[in-house]
Amino acid sequence: AQKVTQAQTEISVVEKEDVTLDCVYETRDTTYYLFWYKQPPSGELVFLIRRNSFDEQNEISGRYSWNFQKSTSSFNFTITASQVVDSAVYFCALKGSNYQLIWGAGTKLIIKP
């Protein structure tokens, strides 16, 4: 069975703080793909990043960075120097041997000015 767990239901920080969103996954597939999506209040899911199971290199894109560790089955997402515009619900998702995306429950991130 495949599963994605985002244990943090809601996180609230003050602007400019760093914040890490946790994602833990379960799969028996040897090849799989991990994703992060952002869902702002407008509702549209916005793709942020895709990671292949055979590539554990961490990635940085501006203020965003992702830490993929197969040993702990985690794919955590860090925002440095958070901004109010980062406020949204963030979803972690897994795609294994089929084409379905298995989603976590999401973490609601609130950035206070």
| Interacting residues with another protein (CB under 8 A) | 4, 33, 35, 37, 42-47, 50, 52, 91, 93, 95, 98-106
DSSP E strands, 53-106: 59-61, 64-69, 74-79, 88-95, 101-103
List 94's β-bridge partners, or say none.
Answer: 34, 102
Q: Minimum Å distance from CB 96 to another protein?
A: 9
Q: Minimum Å distance from CB 62 to another protein?
A: 18
Q: Judged by CB, which is closer to another protein: 14, or 45?
A: 45
Q: Minimum Å distance from CB 17 to another protein?
A: 25
Here the tokens at position 23 are: 């994602």
Which of 111, 53, 59 lies closest to 84 in space, CA to CA?
111
Whole-angstrom Cα distance, residue 67 to residue 70? 10
Q: Judged by CB, which is closer to another protein: 19, or 32?
A: 32
Q: Minimum Å distance from CB 37 to another protein?
A: 8
Query: Tell me, what amino acid is at 93?
Result: A
